[in-house]
A and B are shown apart, each in its own frame.
Chain A
């Protein structure tokens, strides 16, 4: 691979050479080279399990490499702890933020290195300094407010501010946009531009192709622990990037659209004036006045920003909000009043939540136990759990999804994100649902797994199920949906049939 940096010039900000790492005798990194220049956004791409996280954890001092070198500005480093790495200017912004929600912004930003005189806090000086750091990111907020009172997107900025306050110049961002809406993503990108202009180097991990080309200067692709390509972003078009990542050709995932069936299936889900009340009755309902018919073999997309109530509609229908959902609802022709997830499952409804770790999986149970959790009565007649039947059910459902796991008995926590998502889907396959509510079913999974999830949705559609899909990735929504319901502040604002919807059209609608 051509080296970007002339060795006669100043050494690059970060150089990692021939990094090797094994876990339990299994080699996950086979001598990976990686470097980062000042003022550069370097995209680290690769499928789940390619070794990206391991490489980042080595950089962050969480793991130690078996062999290989790390140099920062030409100086050889050996990080024995995350603290040492942080001391040399490495900051990792994890997907799960590491802020203390119950203390103030300033206290978070200076946590561990408070401004104090003999242990006596200098709150005023700290707040002032904090305001300065936030200002560098274009953020104007009260540093004395509690972190937990801000939305996730702002918390992420605070996390970045914390890194800046600690003089970090190597920032690693691991899928920073997975929980952000479009406006917030723009704000983050503006902030990244700001960091670049200050000479920070940024390692950016993402599964979203648009982002790669929006902000990436250079791309490095890992596959199975080997660096397969590194090049300027302009020199690596999307097609070859995917090929490098997956190692094979994929059908053009952007252009494929479902053919509308000639005959409409039966009406499976009908909503009339559905309302989901907030837990506090005096507040505005989360969802108000939604009427919608979903036929068998149809995928309805729900568009809307975070807080528009589209997720709440699914949670409400599934009974996750108890009896706070009102309105006339029928499922498969039978009247249905949401009360609990248990009742919803009995009525043939399944829901894939948007956060598999928090609400989808029981991480310390095995793969098999997770796939059968919602369908346990099937394999436990009279309450007596039949291990053989359970394994059979688990094996059938995971085989259909091409799940890659060494054993069905292993803990589901050990799987990669894409495979964990497949376990969630397998769980709902096993309940034999007719109506599927999918909230971000492809969040945080790699392109190969995404493709398989699309195929599964296609299969469900062909089998005559009714699907409702929420996704923050516009191309995905447009590709998969037969029609799109747009929601804003809990109310439906427009219903588009397919063909009418384009990405630009939706923007125009939202602004009007």
Chain B
């Protein structure tokens, strides 16, 4: 009976230890800290309103969707610099097909998703088959996709002002699909874009944590050669991982186009860096093989809330940027001390 009486204390200390050593602990702590800052600088109780939280999540959603794909690539010991450009390409295509060509969303959405998949799969194939460094391959795709976006759009924003045959502009209505994606549900309390983001998180989590596929992603990121010698289909996995990142970029692009009600060929500029920052702040290692999608969810919330708190307190953009830079470094330093 003696072991039984000792059990509770042992149990509790190990549970506490497990929490303290869990990789999500620092990210969670950082999120709590950010929320405390929000409570302190609540900007005339603006922080206590649900709409503030709803908007924080909505504004972070496009970045969060990109970060989901980035997480997959980074765990597989890669990097994807092309997500922002692919997002731009998709916003342009989505707007062009929906507004100017008046295609049905049932055709437009699959086409856009396919574009994202194809861009990603091409990167993955180049990385996996020809063993070019992911940084180089996706840098090339970043430039290429941006150029393609400008070609498709003719270098101009694709908006509801449609040029006619005689050179004049005529405004057309915003297609219903744009409004549907930009709308809110549950009595206006939850944005559709946020739900799309959460769905992406869920899909990524299932892929990484519940499927054989995810185990292979971690194995490739941890030790590609050992994974290959254990029969992991490395090339197919890489094509798949980058293709998924492209798919997520396309989803983000559709959301972005719907929110702005136009297709901007410059959309998504430097978004890849924000996505990488989110992944790193969450605590996923750039070395590959470690991390998870839960961390990226926390990272998205940290960045999202920080931005929101700074903006409701009317902090100028210049200061916001400097603060964000400092916070990225701080987050990485804290995580390194733990390990």
Contact = CB atoms under 8 A, between A and B. Distances in A.
Interface string B196-230: 00000000000000111111101100110111111
B290 A364 contact: yes
B222 A383 contact: no
B230 A377 contact: no
B211 A374 contact: no
A320 B228 CA distance: 8
A353 B230 CA distance: 11
Contacts of A318: 229
Contact of A341 (B211, B214, B216, B231): B231
Nearest to B228: A341
Interface in B254-310: 289-290
B232 interface: yes
Interface stretch (A290-298, A355-363, A471-479): A355-363
B229 A359 contact: yes
B289 A360 contact: no
Nearest to A318: B229
Contacts of A365: 218-219, 222, 289
A359 B232 CA distance: 13
Contact of A376 (B215, B228, B229, B290): B215
Contacts of B155: none
Given A342-B231, A342-B233, A364-B289, A383 B211 contact: yes
Contacts of B213: 383
Interface of B, helix, strand, loop or mixed by DSSP: helix
Contact of B227 (A320, A345, A346, A362): A362
11 contacts: A318-B229, A320-B228, A359-B226, A360-B229, A364-B289, A373-B226, A374-B230, A376-B215, A380-B215, A383-B211, A384-B212
Most chain-B Cβ atoms within 10 A of its Cβ — which of A320, A360, A365? A365
A427 B212 contact: no
A373 B222 contact: no
A24 to B, nearest CB: 10
A373 B230 contact: yes
Contacts of B215: 369, 373, 376, 380, 385
Interface string A27-71: 000000000000000000000000000000000000000000000
Contacts of A374: 230-231
Most chain-B Cβ atoms within 10 A of its Cβ — which of A341, A351, A431? A341
Contact of A353 (B211, B229, B231, B232): B229
Contacts of B230: 341, 345, 373-374, 427
A507 to B, nearest CB: 33
Contacts of A341: 228-231
Chain A contact patch, size range: 20 to 34
A362 B222 contact: yes
Contacts of A369: 215, 218-219
A364 B222 contact: yes
B229 A384 contact: no
Interface of B: 210-216, 218-219, 222-223, 225-233, 289-290
B18 to A, nearest CB: 11
Given A361-B223, A373-B232, 5 more contacts: A340-B231, A365-B219, A383-B212, A383-B213, A384-B211
Nearest to B233: A342
A384 B232 CA distance: 16
B290 A373 contact: no
B319 to A, nearest CB: 38
Most chain-A Cβ atoms within 10 A of its Cβ — which of B211, B213, B214, B231? B231
Contacts of A344: 231
A374 B336 CA distance: 32
A376 B218 contact: no
B226 A360 contact: yes
Interface in A286-325: 318, 320
A353 B225 CA distance: 11
B225 to A, nearest CB: 5
B186 to A, nearest CB: 31
Nearest to B235: A340
B233 A362 contact: no
B227 A373 contact: yes
A141 to B, nearest CB: 30
Contacts of B290: 364
Contacts of A361: 223, 226
A385 B212 contact: yes
Interface string A96-117: 0000000000000000000000
A377 B212 contact: yes
B225 A359 contact: yes
A435 to B, nearest CB: 15
Contacts of A340: 231
Contacts of B214: 385
A438 to B, nearest CB: 14
Nearest to B289: A364
Contact of A362 (B210, B211, B219): B219
5 smallest A-B Cβ distances: which pairs?
A380-B212, A362-B222, A374-B230, A342-B231, A345-B231
A81 to B, nearest CB: 18
Contact of A385 (B210, B219, B232, B233): B210
Contacts of A373: 215, 219, 226-227, 230, 232
B26 to A, nearest CB: 18
Contacts of A364: 218, 222, 289-290
Contacts of B222: 362-365
Nearest to B229: A341
A441 B225 CA distance: 18
A345 B230 CA distance: 8
B229 A362 contact: no
Nearest to B218: A365
A351 B226 CA distance: 11
A184 B284 CA distance: 43
B100 to A, nearest CB: 41
Contacts of B219: 362, 365, 369, 373
B231 to A, nearest CB: 4
B131 to A, nearest CB: 12
A340 B234 CA distance: 11
Contacts of B233: 342
A385 B213 CA distance: 9
Given A318-B229, A341-B231, A351-B229, A362 B212 contact: no
A371 to B, nearest CB: 11
Nearest to B220: A362
Contact of A384 (B210, B218, B227, B228): B210
A368 to B, nearest CB: 11
A289 to B, nearest CB: 26
Contacts of B228: 320, 341
A25 to B, nearest CB: 11
B12 to A, nearest CB: 16
A384 B212 CA distance: 6
A203 B10 CA distance: 41
A414 to B, nearest CB: 13
B101 to A, nearest CB: 38
B21 to A, nearest CB: 10
Nearest to A380: B212
Nearest to A343: B231
A261 B233 CA distance: 39
B225 A358 contact: yes
Nearest to A412: B222
Nearest to B285: A364
Interface string A375-387: 0110010011100
Contact of A320 (B218, B223, B229, B232): B229
Nearest to B222: A362
A341 B230 CA distance: 7
A417 to B, nearest CB: 16
